[in-house]
């Protein structure tokens, strides 16, 4: 500036002096304009933007507590709730806590402990009757039904949860809408179809 050179002349001199290590044309023009406005340093000014949040122990604890309260939260939602950037939350989840998103395994029914106990007792009773009466099965008539539901299950993306590598795979009951389209009921004995 003191030599009254324009930005292009300054850039050419820097390029001749430093070759490929010279600052870019855009950067030279930016500095040239800043010097014209009275600036004497080349350091970046402080500016607002996303805060760089370190993975401190306090932040790891916050993320751990939040994901334990709701394992279906996305990284984006957690970053909004905790006021941390997404990259930091993702790194805490994957590297610090060793977690990953996995899909819940769909099963037909999830039985309560009481239902499991009743099924076990019925099976034991049937085994006892079979041992006492050898022709017991000839008198048994069993029924079965098939239903076709109009259902709208969750997508895999909707049922993803955060879990560690050692935690068991979660289970979720298959959800169906209540409208029944067709029902087939069949009764059988040891000889075949009865009705």
Query: Does residue 164 share a domain with residue 129?
Result: yes
Q: Are 11 and 87 contained in the same domain?
A: no
In a shared domain, residues 72 and 6: no
Return the pLDDT at 102.
Answer: 83
The reply to whether 131 falls in a domain is yes
Host domain of residue 71: 57-97
Q: Are residues 128 and 187 in the same domain?
A: yes
What pLDDT does 66 receive?
92
**43 and 90 fall within a common domain:** no
Residues 93 and 112 in one domain: no
* pLDDT given at position 1: 47
Tokens of 158: 């909707």
Are 112 and 129 within one domain? yes
Say what the pLDDT of residue 114 is: 92
Tell me how many domains the chain contains.
Answer: 3
Residues 113 and 189 in one domain: yes
Name the token pair of 154. Answer: 């969750």
pLDDT mean for each 10 residues of the chain (195 residues):
74 87 86 79 64 73 91 90 90 90 73 90 91 84 75 63 80 61 80 85
Domain shared by 43 and 73, yes or no: no
Q: Are 136 and 130 in contact (CB under 8 A)?
A: yes
Torsion region of 23: left, alpha or beta (phi above 0 gives left; psi -120 to 50 gives alpha)? beta
Question: For the CA atoms of 20, 26, 28, 30, what is the dihedral angle to 10 degrees?
Answer: -160
Residue 52 domain-assigned (yes or no): no
Residue 185's nearest CA partner among 141, 123, 127 is: 141
Domain membership of residue 67 (yes or no) is yes
**What is the C-alpha to C-alpha distance for residues 120 and 114, in angstroms, rounded to an integer?**
10
Instruction: DSSP letter for 33, please.
Output: H
At residue 175, the pLDDT reads: 62
Q: Indicate if 18 and 37 belong to the same structural domain.
A: yes
Q: Are 68 and 42 in the same domain?
A: no
Q: Smallest Cα–Cα separation from 64: which of 89, 85, 87, 86?
A: 89
- Nearest CA to 136 out of 192, 189, 194 is that of 189
Same domain, 115 and 164: yes
How confident is the model at residue 181, as a pLDDT?
66
Residue 126 lies in a domain: yes
Structure tokens belonging to residue 92: 């805490």
Whether 73 is in a domain gets the answer yes
Helix pair 57-69, 75-82: axis angle to 10 deg:
120
Residue 83 lies in a domain: yes
- pLDDT score recorded for residue 179: 57
Which pair of tokens denotes residue 53? 């949040």
């Amino acid at each position: 500036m003191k030599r009254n050179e324009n930005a292009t002349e300054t850039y050419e001199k820097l390029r001749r002096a430093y070759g490929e290590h010279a600052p870019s044309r855009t950067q030279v023009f930016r500095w040239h304009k800043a010097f014209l406005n009275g600036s004497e340093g080349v350091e970046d000014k402080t500016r607002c933007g996303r805060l760089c949040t370190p993975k401190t122990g306090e932040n790891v604890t916050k993320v751990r507590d939040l994901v334990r309260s709701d394992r279906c939260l996305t990284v984006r939602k957690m970053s909004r709730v905790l006021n941390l950037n997404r990259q930091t939350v993702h790194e805490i989840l994957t590297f610090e806590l060793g977690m990953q998103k996995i899909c819940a395994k769909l099963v037909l029914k999830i039985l309560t402990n009481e239902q499991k106990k009743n099924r076990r007792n019925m099976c034991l009773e049937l085994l006892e009757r079979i041992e006492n009466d050898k022709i017991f099965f000839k008198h048994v008539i069993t029924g079965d039904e098939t239903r076709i539901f109009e259902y709208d299950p969750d997508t895999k993306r909707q049922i993803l949860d955060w879990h560690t590598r050692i935690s068991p795979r979660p289970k979720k009951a298959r959800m169906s809408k209540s409208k029944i389209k067709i029902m087939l009921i069949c009764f059988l004995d040891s000889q075949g179809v009865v009705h």
